[in-house]
Structure 1
């Protein structure tokens, strides 16, 4: 119906380990990384409109063609020819430039919502095929399943690796450039520890000794607060802490809720955007008509 308003949530991710294996001739990098979800989310409202328009409540986020939401709309329109124009309103909560996948998550949800609203009948695999130029994390967010991503991030082996512990994630109010992070990272084609085995077989309190994000070596010297924040997570009582993706956000994994809550409150008091995610969290991937 023309007057329907559709709502859905777009979730953030964190990387559980990230191995940069080689620099490819294309300029991309071959990686392997574990991907799981946070409760940190953006909220979408979509309705038919006289023209395509994107409104975001955070004025620091551009709404022009550089925004992945607009790129996703253009990609789908080019592929199938959309029947209507839409107003996208986004309540933006996931920080940009944080390594949390907010842009890719937004692009994936845009494709999924238009696929449902316009009754296009495209499968997840078809959406992934047409989204390959939008971002390496987009296929993960289309599938909505945790797993190990390989290649340039498009090849995902679905495994339940969502930690059954509390996750506290903090953005240090400094954005990290993904190209810069990879530019200054030395690839290692032969990591010391097998990522899949570590995530599925090792106890989580062993992770700090064997599970690495290779991009920390290039980001922490440039964004000191991220490195300091990782140390702070351990001081708060985390059993494992790491930067996510190309940064600059850092997360800590906590066994006990009161320890996680103390860390969460402490970071909020320092005026850092912070999220706490429940053990075994599963995102709601539903797309709903607003009552």
Structure 2
């Protein structure tokens, strides 16, 4: 069975509180985009996992796809499978690619082996794998709170916009991103912010990590400024970086180019 785990972008990201467990509470809108990895799972005589595409650092045995399989196996009699992940989404980009791979593994296994788990049950498994994994179970726009794993549905349709995502090959770890953050409550509710016209978001919708990371990585504000100069209605870093995206009403300019070592994705939302 083949599926395509997709990325997400953050529309605003506020770090509101440090939790007793060492994590942080946040407030953000998660919005799915159509930039994807590819994940195939097939029945196999013995357990097997392999990857192609972008290199993934670390021991393959700790990959979230395998962790998702073993997590389900604790409560369900799963036979061996061959998991093949073709990695397209960059890591350390704030796009949630690894979390999407894990959630889609759960979804595929649930369907393949007729486990009949509900979306809520799959979300509970996904929460054990990563803070934003559960978002990719339903894969619809939400307002995310707490660790990024508690969701409130939101009616937000950006289907008339083209999203351009620029990844300047800078890998920012979560620990590095949070090191310079001082949590604070936003002055306005996310629902109210997102009800404003997209063109107004530039003045009111903030990613808290930008203030901490832009001085350290000047390529990031340069990308953001270039997206605005090209006519983006809104531009922002996503997650804890380092990808920066721009939302263009209608088509994005065809002559929008960045240095050759940058990864670029462009598509309709």
With the shorter chain as reference, the TM-score category is over 0.9
Deviations 1:64-99 (A, max 9, x none): 2321111111111112231x1111112211111100
State whether residues 223 and 248 of structure 1, in contact with CA within 8 Å, keep that contact through their aligned partners in structure 2: no
2:266 to 276, 281, 285: 276
Alignment partner, residue 9 of structure 2: 14
> Gaps spanning 5+ residues in structure 2: where?
none
Higher mean C-alpha deviation, range 99-108 or range 129-138: 129-138
> Which residue number corresponds to residue 287 of structure 1?
none
CA-CA distance at 1:258 after TM superposition: 4.6
**1:103 matched residue in structure 2:** 98
3-state secondary structure, aligned to 2:134: helix
Q: Which aligned pairs between 1:1-291 and structure 2 lie closer than 5 A? A: 6-58=1-53, 60-61=55-56, 62=58, 64-82=60-78, 84-163=79-158, 164-189=160-185, 191-199=186-194, 201-259=195-253, 261-263=254-256, 266-267=257-258, 270-278=260-268, 281=269
Distance 1:25 1:59, change over 3 A: same
Report Cα offsets for 1:124-160 as digits up to 9, x if no partner: 1111112222111111100111110111111111113
Secondary structure of 1:138's counterpart equals: coil
Q: SS state of the match for residue 148, structure 1?
A: strand
Contact preservation (8 Å) 2:13, 2:26: yes
Query: What secondary structure sits across from 1:262 in the alignment?
Result: coil
Where do 4+ consecutive residues of structure 1 move more than 6 Å? Answer: none
Helix, strand or coil: the match of 1:205?
Answer: helix
Give CA-to-partner distance per residue, 1:167-202, whole Å, 9 cap, x none: 10011111111122112111112x133221111x20
Cα displacement string for residues 107-134 of structure 1 (whole angstroms, at most 9, x for unaligned residues) = 0000000011111111111111122221
Q: Is contact 2:54-2:87 (8 Å) kept? A: no
Per the TM alignment, residue 238 of structure 1 is displaced from its structure 2 partner at its CA by 1.0
TM-score between the two structures when normalised by the length of structure 2: 0.94
How far does residue 162 in structure 1 lie from its aligned partner after superposition?
Answer: 4.1
Backbone CA RMSD of aligned residues: 1.5
Give the total of aligned pairs: 267
Question: TM-score under structure 1 normalisation?
Answer: 0.87
Q: Which runs of 5+ in 1 are unaligned?
A: 1-5, 282-291
Q: Is the 8 A contact 1:34 1:161 kept in 2?
A: no
Residue 234 (structure 1) shift: 1.0
Give, in angstroms, the shift of residue 166 of structure 1: 1.0
Q: Distance in 2 between matches of 1:277 and 1:88?
A: 27
